[in-house]
């Protein structure tokens, strides 16, 4: 006999509590600098309001500061021209408007630009700007963790252990530093930036295993009086943390991308080991529950094409069967090899045949051209390469070379 529905809901809630508690163990160091100042970036609006009240300033200052930090992108209190000098000084004594340091910035022939950012404790993460020439805009691919607890077989980040979660300041900071690099803040005339107006949470790490910080960062990014991206311009990619998918849909309502990569549990167990915990049937049920999925806002299924592993015609047909009835599209990603990886990309003909089968069934199935091959764009690779070049000593608890 199956458990009553309310029991099932309690179980999911218990599972969510467990996931959140575990993820809190990997939280970043505090926002406070050695000199006692705090970073304004990454504070929620409520937290900023509390800070402003604590220094005896009226509530309308919150709106002003928020506007300068997140709409204008200033990094210096001196430039907040609507705020009188004495208050500018008072703020500068207590706060900084932080950005991660740029360790590396490489631009590929196809204009993909990859950044390696370093945070205050020396940890590093990758951010990629992917231009969309047709649309004159582009996406910023943001990391959510340093390393990853999951170890998907084809993923380079999966070879690194999880060092820690990124905090909300570090998540928003990647986007803001990328905008700095492109001079993409509103001009004094108020023109809105277009180049960097989309976020994909598809960099290093599993965003739903760092939900609290990711959610806080996305709320900051979506706030109308600041960066003001709509939830339609944000896509969160998950390897399938089922209980947190529901929470993400209910609270953030951003677009969802699901890293499927296999249509049978035996193969997915191997490629995406999280499947052993949340198998395909549960994952697909969570996709069907995901709010707001419609033809205008389809769920994206990512499918990395591995030669001879998951690229047969039978698998294309099974994929179509799995997503039948869902507003969905499929991104076919040619496998991006990295030194030591055990797979090869599928041949062009195989990818095209696979795409045609999915297409003929009525689903858009674009083949994502690999971007920035010449700059090691396989996720997680830049960080490893950079550490190797600088011969960073391997500390206990961090990954090996």
In angstroms, rounded to a whole number, what is the distance separating the alpha carbons of residues 116 and 138?
18
HSE, CB side, 13 Å, CA atoms: give it for residue 301. Answer: 27
Contact pick of 112, 198, 259, 346 for ligand SAH (by CB under 6 A): 259
**Residue 141 touches which of ligand SAH, ligand SF4, none (CB < 5 to 8 A by kind)?**
none
Q: How many CB atoms lie within 10 A of CB 122?
A: 9
| Distance separating alpha carbons of residues 273 and 51, to the nearest angstrom | 43
CA–CA dist 153, 170 (Å, integer)? 27
Stretch that binds ligand SF4, among 17-25, 70-78, 154-162, 386-394 (CB under 6 A): 154-162
Phi, psi angle pair for 5, to nearest 5° = -55, -40
Site string (113-152) toward ligand SF4, x via CB under 6 A: -----------------------------------x-xxx
Phi, psi of 257 (to 5 degrees): -120, 135
Q: What's the rounded Cα separation, in Å, for the pair 353 and 316?
A: 9
287 catalytic? Reply is no
Tokens of 49: 């309001």
Least distance CB 95 / ligand SF4 (angstroms): 33
Decide whether 39 or 206 has the Cβ nearer to ligand SF4: 206
Q: Choose between 165 and 238: whose C-beta lies nearer to ligand SAH.
A: 238
User: x/- contact string, 335-374, with ligand SAH (CB under 6 A)?
Assistant: xx--------------------------------------
Tokens, residue 335: 């496998």
CB-based contacts of 375, cutoff 8 Å, min separation 6: 106, 107, 108, 112, 114, 382
Burial class (CB in 10 A: 0-12, 13-18, 19+), 110: middle
* Stretch 337-376 residues interacting with ligand SF4 (CB under 6 A): none
311 contacts ligand SF4 (rule: CB under 6 A): no
Verify whether residue 152 is a known catalytic residue: no
In sign, the C-alpha dihedral spanning 252, 323, 19, 378 is negative
Question: Interface with ligand SAH includes 206 (CB under 6 A)?
Answer: yes
Q: Give the one residue of 41, 97, 155, 355 binding ligand SAH; rule: CB under 6 A.
A: 155
Query: Least distance to ligand SAH from the beta carbon of 310, Å?
Result: 12
CA quadruple 24, 25, 29, 32: dihedral, nearest 10: 50
Query: Between residues 96 and 152, which has the closer beta carbon with respect to ligand SF4?
Result: 152
Nearest alpha-carbon partner for 392 in 160, 229, 171, 166: 160
In the complex, what is the shortest distance from the CB of residue 145 to ligand SAH, in angstroms, rounded to a whole number?
8
Task: Point out the catalytic residue in the list 126, 184, 302, 315.
Answer: 126
Closer of 147 and 249 to ligand SF4 (Cβ):
147
According to the binding rule CB under 6 A, does residue 157 interact with ligand SF4? yes
Number of residues located near ligand SAH, criterion CB under 6 A: 17
Applying CB under 6 A, does 302 fall inside the site for ligand SF4? no
Name the nearest CA neighbour of 283 among 327, 325, 316, 241.
Answer: 241
Which one of the listed residues 141, 152, 287, 379 is annotated catalytic? 379
Q: Which residues ranging from 222 to 251 are in contact with ligand SF4 (CB under 6 A)?
A: 239
Helix or strand holding residue 39 (H, E): strand 38-39
Please say which residue, 375 or 378, places its beta carbon nearer to ligand SAH: 378
| CB 204 within 8 Å of CB 150 | no
Binds 319, which of ligand SAH, ligand SF4, none (CB < 5 to 8 A, cut-off by type)?
none
Q: Count CB neighbours of 15 within 10 A.
A: 16
Q: Is 205 in the site for ligand SF4 (CB under 6 A)?
A: yes
State the number of binding residues for ligand SF4 (CB under 6 A).
12
Q: Name the binder of 304 from ligand SAH, ligand SF4, none, CB < 5-8 A by kind.
A: ligand SAH
DSSP H or E segment with residue 115:
strand 113-118
Contact 374, 109 (CB under 8 A): yes
Residues near ligand SAH (CB under 6 A)? 152, 154-156, 202, 206, 237-239, 259, 302, 304, 333, 335-336, 378-379
Residues near ligand SF4 (CB under 6 A)? 148, 150-152, 155, 157-158, 204-206, 239, 259
Kindly list the catalytic residues. 126, 379
């Amino acid at each position: 006999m199956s458990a009553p529905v309310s029991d099932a809901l309690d179980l999911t809630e218990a599972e969510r509590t467990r996931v959140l508690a575990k993820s809190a163990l990997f939280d970043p160091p505090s926002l406070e600098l050695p000199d006692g100042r705090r970073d304004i970036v990454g504070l929620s609006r409520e937290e900023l309001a509390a800070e402003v009240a604590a220094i005896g300033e009226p509530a309308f200052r919150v709106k002003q500061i928020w506007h300068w930090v997140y709409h204008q992108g200033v990094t210096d209190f001196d430039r907040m021209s609507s705020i009188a000098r004495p208050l500018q000084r008072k703020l500068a004594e207590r706060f900084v408007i932080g950005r991660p340091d740029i360790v590396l910035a490489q631009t590929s022939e196809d204009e993909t630009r990859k950044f390696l950012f370093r945070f205050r404790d020396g940890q590093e993460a990758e951010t990629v700007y992917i231009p969309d020439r047709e649309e004159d805009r582009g996406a910023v691919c943001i990391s959510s963790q340093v390393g990853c607890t999951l170890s998907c077989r084809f993923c380079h980040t999966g070879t690194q252990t999880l060092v820690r979660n990124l905090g909300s300041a570090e998540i928003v900071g990647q986007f803001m530093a990328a905008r700095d690099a492109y001079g993409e803040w509103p001009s004094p005339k108020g023109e809105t930036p277009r180049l960097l107006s989309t976020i994909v949470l598809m960099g290093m790490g599993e965003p739903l295993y760092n939900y609290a910080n990711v959610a806080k960062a996305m709320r900051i990014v979506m706030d109308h009086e600041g960066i003001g991206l709509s939830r339609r311009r944000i896509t969160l990619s998950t390897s399938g943390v089922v209980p947190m998918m529901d929470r993400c849909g209910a609270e953030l309502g951003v677009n969802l991308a699901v890293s499927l990569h296999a249509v049978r549990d035996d193969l997915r167990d191997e490629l995406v080991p999280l499947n052993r915990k949340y198998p395909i049937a549960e994952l697909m049920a969570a996709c069907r529950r995901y709010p707001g999925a419609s033809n205008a806002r389809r769920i994206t299924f990512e499918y990395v094409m591995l030669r001879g592993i998951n690229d047969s015609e039978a698998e294309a047909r099974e994929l179509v069967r799995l997503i039948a009835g869902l507003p969905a599209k499929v991104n076919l990603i040619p496998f991006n090899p990295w030194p030591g990886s055990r797979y090869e990309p599928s041949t062009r003909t195989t990818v095209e045949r696979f795409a045609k089968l999915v297409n003929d069934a009525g689903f858009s199935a674009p083949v994502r051209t690999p971007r920035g091959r010449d700059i090691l764009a396989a996720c997680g690779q830049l960080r490893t390469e950079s550490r190797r070049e600088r011969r960073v000593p391997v500390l206990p608890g961090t990954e090996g070379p």
